[in-house]
Structure 1
Amino acid sequence: MLLDPLRIPDVAWSDPAVHDALSQRDVGALFRRIGQMVGASQTRIGAAVNLEQGYVSRVMAGRKITSIDVLERIADGLRMPDEARMALGLAPKDHSCHLDMALPPRQRQSGLPTNRSWREDLRAAAQLWEGDVNRRDVIRQVAFTSAGYTLPALRWFTAPPARAVEQAGSRSVGQPDIETIREMTATYRRLDNQYGGGHARAAVVRYLHQEVTPLLDNGRYETSTGRMLLSAVAELTQFAGWQAYDVADHGVAQLYLTHGLDLARAADDAGLGAEILAAMSHQATYLGDGATGIDLARAAGQTARRAGFTVLAAEASVMEAHGHAVVKDERACAAALHQAEKTLDRADRSSTPQWLGYFDEAYLSAKFGHCFRALGKPAQAERFAARSLRMDEQYVRGKAFNLALLATAQAQQGDPERACVIGAQALILTSRLRSARAARYMRELQAELAPHRRQPAVQQFIRRVDAVLGTRR
């Protein structure tokens, strides 16, 4: 009968077209392929997933679905196994399910997440850059999910080491090519610190697509050069993810960070891998998932300690502390902060890579301040926020963050006038930035000051924030 339960054979979930549709969250392609395989009409598919036939038709014609609730309904209606659910970016029903099941059977090996080659990692990253440059909806409408970080982190620890990274292309690749990528990355980092992630993000993505992709596709190099090349590309990919995070394109940021981690693994660059895991932790905690932030920070710390990167181990500890603060575990937060401080004290900074140059005592103080703010301890937050301002002035965005943190702590302690004075300094810097994070911190300060809105200084400050950021509805 027309509305009989839709019976999808198990083999369908191993179909390459189905897996591609799931991994790209292309529900229209998924519906079309399922319909072909089982002979199901749009009406029958709609009945199975509790959606109107007209809506199913629009999805199959190209309408994108980004709502997690709708995706969950579709997964339940199609009785997706856990491997298919995770490929779609949803949590498994059976939480003990091995995360490698999110990949097709031909990519599984001995219970490991994947035996994907470094060339496949490069190809996947290049497809991301191309899709981002061309503003494809399948890239730009990807939603962030904490579960989306679990498989890449597991793959980092358990996938076999990359084989020889060598290629016999038509163009010789040498150290000057690699140094060019690193210099471009350093230049973009300086712009990012001074003007925010939105300032040069499009330029970074175009550079990856137009300059780096041909080098990877046509390059000729042996293993030592190949690994240095992959490391440089991984760093720039990670940085592009950080820019997307700063402008609140969180799903896109997640894609870049996970591809950056895969490339760092292929390059056998443990230090960069630890830094990317720490960035993943930073994003998860910022979005309110402290538990995932803790797990990723611990993964970063374990990687850093194994590789002998003491500064990175300190960074991982403070990221873990922030996760504990978000979940209100004060004791664990204090222990992690103490560990971070001790570790940084004994670190040798003489060989710190450029991508870790920001992590110093001022940055550590700022993270302490954020932890105490999350724990509801504004006096301690104010003390560390004030200390964080003894910082390198080139980090304009970081200074805007730290000033906003200090002002918020003052507002929380019932001193709105001082908060407005410091907040005005933060607002001047924020007005020069293209940073959703900086704007969010100003909005949070504005909210803290709202109970004092009868005071003239507060009224004036709130109007100034609205003038710079736009009036909130």
Structure 2
Amino acid sequence: MLLDPLRIPNTVWSDPAVGDALTRRDVGALFRRIGQLTGASQTRIGAAVGLEQGYVSRVMAGRKVTSIEVLERIADGCRMPDQARMALGLAPQDRPCHLDMASPPKQRESDLPVNRSWRDDVRAAAQLWEGDVNRRDVIRQMAFSSAGYTLTALRWFTAPAAPPVVHAGTRTVGQPDIETIREMTTTYRRLDNQYGGGHARATVARYLHQEVTPLLDNGRYETSTGRKLLSAVAELTQLAGWQAYDVADHGIAQLYLTRALDLARAAGDASLGAEILAAMSHQATYLGHGATGIDLARAAGQTAQRAGLTVLTAEASVMEAHGHAMVRDERACTAALHQAEKTLDRADRSSAPQWLGYFDEAYLSAKFGHCFRALGKPAQAERFAARSLRMDERYIRGKAFNLALLATAQAQQGELERACVVGAEALTLTSRLQSARAARYVRELQAELVPYRRRPTVQQFIRRVDAVLGTRR
């Protein structure tokens, strides 16, 4: 059940108890007072600020919140005016304020845009890696927020050009260090495709924390090397986010992808930025936020065009199409699919980065299949799902996805025997993966077959799914 968005009247911010809670950074008192003034439940407050209800409950019971990351998310989710943000110790956002909080003139003069430096982005990323490795509760309790991606994408387009990436540390950083990070990323990406995001997610987080953080903090590098370093780190951070997404750690995935985009912006890497925006669109659409998925895909497309990367422009178009399909806009979906196909046909793949190697005709066909499935057109979905299986066999997880898609389309057309045979193949591959997404697609196939469970073949398949993935509640 979707919750109504939390709307906090402007008068709340002039409430003395709210002002006192902000000044003392007492988030628990702030939440309690907001609940009293608006009638909002813990669940509703948590949904607004991107935190699990259980974590909100512990904060309201007295747990302290000290992480700037979390405080920023709370401020954004509550749509705090700048005076409230500053009372909480955060930078203003230079947006209009409509509140009656008394504020001396000198304080209002400080309400100016604050440019975020690349060092701030590095510091925030390092805090995330450390918190993830140490399994800090504040990181683990993060929930996905579509508004968080909207603000991130806006910053990508509106933030001023990043200053020179220069650092005077004690250790000289050179091309070999950068190549090592890229080689590790290639290795982890291969493992991700073959075994699922859960296989090496913790290892990637440790590598970022233990190996990459010291390089950024203690390294000595000039602008050219510094930007290459940040680009390599952004790519690995994006992969860590993708892994978290694959195992359904969606709040953590959002944090990683957000940090990756910030690092890509600091590095001046528009191509990688477009790819990260496309990944954000992918996650948002998967979670049912079709409108946000569309916006992010369009942002990815504009960025890819700016970077002159035609293959990535095609990917952005198909991501946009999937968002349109999720909101049942068939005309817009069809137009975006046509654009994606046409763009990919004229793309020069020789100039595409290595990390974009997965995007080919088979991947495009799979996305076509998902779009038609979302539109309730199983015959078309089956046709494209079958085409998607003409794929690179190294992408084990992708093959599991495509088999499940094909079997689901067959089940929806009443082809039960074929659906069970193909579904069994998907289940076999899924059993070898640590991938919540792969399991979800098989479960969705199982749900399609439940109405026919009295048939022996179907009953056998349903039981096998439960035996492999666990009995479904």
| Alignment partners' CA distance in 2, 1:320 and 1:69 | 34
Distance 1:217 1:86, change over 3 A: closer
Give, in angstroms, the shift of residue 176 of structure 1: 0.2
Determine if the alignment matches structure 1 residue 206 to structure 2 residue 215: no
Aligned to 2:439, the other structure's residue is in SS state helix
Distance 1:65 1:143, change over 3 A: closer
| Alignment partners' CA distance in 2, 1:135 and 1:320 | 34
Distance 1:378 1:45, change over 3 A: closer
Q: In the alignment, which residue of structure 2 is the partner of 1:194?
A: 194
The equivalences for 1:282-293 within 5 A come to 282-293=282-293
Q: Structure 2 counterpart of 1:7, which letter? A: P
Distance 1:341 1:119, change over 3 A: same
Gaps of 5+ in 2: 1-13, 43-49, 61-69, 97-111
Q: Structure 1 counterpart of 2:128, which letter? A: L
Q: In the alignment, which residue of structure 1 is the partner of 2:355?
A: 355
Give, in angstroms, the shift of residue 88 of structure 1: 1.3
Give, in angstroms, the shift of residue 87 of structure 1: 3.2
**TM-score of the superposed pair, with normalisation by structure 2:** 0.84
Q: In the alignment, which residue of structure 1 is the partner of 2:108?
A: none
8 A contact 2:379–2:409 mirrored in 1: yes
Q: Which segment drifts farther, 114-123 or 426-435?
A: 114-123
**Alpha-carbon deviations, 1:184-203, whole Å to 9, x = none?**
00000000000000000000
Aligned to 1:414, the other structure's residue is in SS state coil
The equivalences for 1:372-383 within 5 A come to 372-383=372-383
Q: In the alignment, which residue of structure 2 is the partner of 1:31?
A: 28
Q: In the alignment, which residue of structure 1 is the partner of 2:5?
A: none
8 A contact 2:55–2:141 mirrored in 1: no
Q: In the alignment, which residue of structure 2 is the partner of 1:336?
A: 336
**Alpha-carbon deviations, 1:283-324, whole Å to 9, x = none?**
000000100000000000000011111011000000000000
Aligned to 1:88, the other structure's residue is in SS state helix
Distance 1:7 1:202, change over 3 A: same
Aligned to 2:16, the other structure's residue is in SS state coil
Give, in angstroms, the shift of residue 65 of structure 1: 6.1
| Alignment partners' CA distance in 1, 2:398 and 2:142 | 28
Q: In the alignment, which residue of structure 1 is the partner of 2:304?
A: 304
| Alignment partners' CA distance in 2, 1:357 and 1:141 | 34
Determine if the alignment matches structure 1 residue 66 to structure 2 residue 52: yes
Give, in angstroms, the shift of residue 8 of structure 1: 4.0
8 A contact 1:89–1:145 mirrored in 2: no
Q: Which segment drifts farther, 103-112 or 157-166?
A: 103-112
8 A contact 2:51–2:143 mirrored in 1: no
Q: Structure 2 counterpart of 1:417, which letter? A: E
Q: Which segment drifts farther, 346-355 or 234-243?
A: 346-355
Q: In the alignment, which residue of structure 1 is the partner of 2:109?
A: none
Query: Considering only aligned residues, what root-mean-square deviation do their CA atoms show, in Å?
Result: 3.1
**Alpha-carbon deviations, 1:108-164, whole Å to 9, x = none?**
469997511000100000000000000000001101010111111110000011101
Q: Structure 2 counterpart of 1:313, which letter? A: T
Q: In the alignment, which residue of structure 2 is the partner of 1:467?
A: 467
Aligned residues: 426
Q: In the alignment, which residue of structure 2 is the partner of 1:158?
A: 158
**Alpha-carbon deviations, 1:413-447, whole Å to 9, x = none?**
00110000000000110000000000000000000
Q: In the alignment, which residue of structure 1 is the partner of 2:16?
A: 7
The equivalences for 1:218-237 within 5 A come to 218-237=218-237
Q: Which segment drifts farther, 112-121 or 146-155?
A: 112-121
Determine if the alignment matches structure 1 residue 88 to structure 2 residue 85: no
Q: Structure 1 counterpart of 2:425, which letter? A: Q
Matched-pair identity in %? 76
Q: Structure 1 counterpart of 2:392, which letter? A: D
| Alignment partners' CA distance in 1, 2:323 and 2:163 | 35
Distance 1:385 1:51, change over 3 A: closer
The equivalences for 1:78-157 within 5 A come to 87-88=73-74, 91=77, 106=91, 108=93, 115-157=115-157
8 A contact 1:85–1:91 mirrored in 2: no
| Alignment partners' CA distance in 2, 1:407 and 1:197 | 23
**Alpha-carbon deviations, 1:161-184, whole Å to 9, x = none?**
110101110000000000000000
**Alpha-carbon deviations, 1:194-213, whole Å to 9, x = none?**
00000000000000000000
Q: Structure 1 counterpart of 2:73, which letter? A: A
| Alignment partners' CA distance in 1, 2:92 and 2:203 | 34
Q: Structure 1 counterpart of 2:53, which letter? A: S
8 A contact 1:86–1:92 mirrored in 2: no
Distance 1:405 1:89, change over 3 A: farther
Aligned to 1:359, the other structure's residue is in SS state coil
8 A contact 1:417–1:457 mirrored in 2: yes
**TM-score of the superposed pair, with normalisation by structure 1:** 0.84
Give, in angstroms, the shift of residue 343 of structure 1: 0.5
Q: Structure 1 counterpart of 2:16, which letter? A: R
| Alignment partners' CA distance in 1, 2:329 and 2:75 | 28
Q: In the alignment, which residue of structure 2 is the partner of 1:39?
A: none
